Structure 1
Amino acid sequence: MTAALPPALICDVVRVHDGDGPLWCRSGVKIRIAGVQAPDFERAAPCRRPAALRRAYVCDDRAARRSQQLVARLTLGQRLACQPVDRSYKRVVARCTLPDGRSLSCAAIAAGAAISWDRYWRRYGLGGCR
């Protein structure tokens, strides 16, 4: 049986692992950013690009570090409003909103830190980016 999702939560971001998470909240919750895929340190070599991602996807240690740094600039020390939509590997998958009102998923894509993972983008009802 899957544990129930927590209600909407506030995440004061204290650490960022990869460009798609987890983001560590001061409360101890770990959040995976909903609907995006980014290069990560665990899969840097060899690259195991998910078949669902048809666009160019570079996975190497340098790309992972750049992606992590971009998301850290967006989120570190910020207070995010997050709506949990799923669970994955002991993390809460959530649609989060930055303090300026932008979707974190869209902001990560616009910054070049991640690409949309269409299957999950639709599943989590992320809609269009402005």
Structure 2
Amino acid sequence: MGLTLISTPGPFSAAFDPRGAIVAAGQVFACTPTRVWDGDGPIWCREGPRIRLAGVAAREIDNSCRLGHPCPRASGTAARDNLARLLGGALGRAPEGHIKVSGPVLRCISDGWAKGSRTAAWCSAPGIGDLSCAQLRAGFALRWPEYGGRKVCTTGG
């Protein structure tokens, strides 16, 4: 990408890893969601990063659970659809199969690299609060300490 710093609307800015839009751990950044794949991400941000929700795991979109990963009861499709709803609602599908969304700007805190070109992050949406905790409370995800699970969600997490 070549960018080392991007300014975003509002009080947030993001320092990106030049290897692929990984937001440095501890950085606060904004994400305007445009697409989502499954119940724990990635969430594509108009500003560049792809977010994997920190601290939780959802089933894969094909309903599988990888060996050693937490495996919630909710289907991959149900988890994805709930996350899309939290992100403003589904607007159709992108050619690759991702669900298009258009919601409010999220306030995110990076937990660092989440494999591939994803940033693990705790993101909050206006009126909803923390998305990882919302997915956890609704039963669409389970806690996963490997991805930033040090945080404890209030009320049911």
| TM-score (normalised: structure 2) | 0.65
Larger Rg: 2
Q: Does 1:71 align with 2:83?
A: yes
More helix by share: 1
Q: Which residue of the partner structure matches residue 82 of structure 1?
A: 108
Instruction: Tell me if 1:98 matches 2:125.
Output: yes
- Read off the aligned partner of 1:73 and give its amino acid letter: R
Question: Does the aligned pair in 1 maintain the 2:72–2:140 contact within 8 Å?
Answer: no
Checking the alignment, whether the CA contact within 8 Å between 2:43 and 2:51 is kept in structure 1 is: yes
Bigger relative contact order, structure 1 or 2, given CA contacts below 8 A and separation 6+? Answer: 1
Query: Which structure has greater strand proportion?
Result: 2
Structure 1, gaps ≥5 residues long: none
Shift of 1:78: 2.3
Pick the aligned partner of 1:22 from 21, 33, 42: 42
The Cα RMSD (Å) is: 2.3
Unaligned runs of 5+ in 2: 1-16, 18-22, 89-102
Deviations 1:68-99 (A, max 9, x none): 00000001412110011111211111011121
1:48 shift after superposition: 4.1
Aligned residues: 118
Mapped to 2, the partners of 1:94 and 1:127 lie a distance apart of 14
TM-score of the pair, normalised by structure 1? 0.77
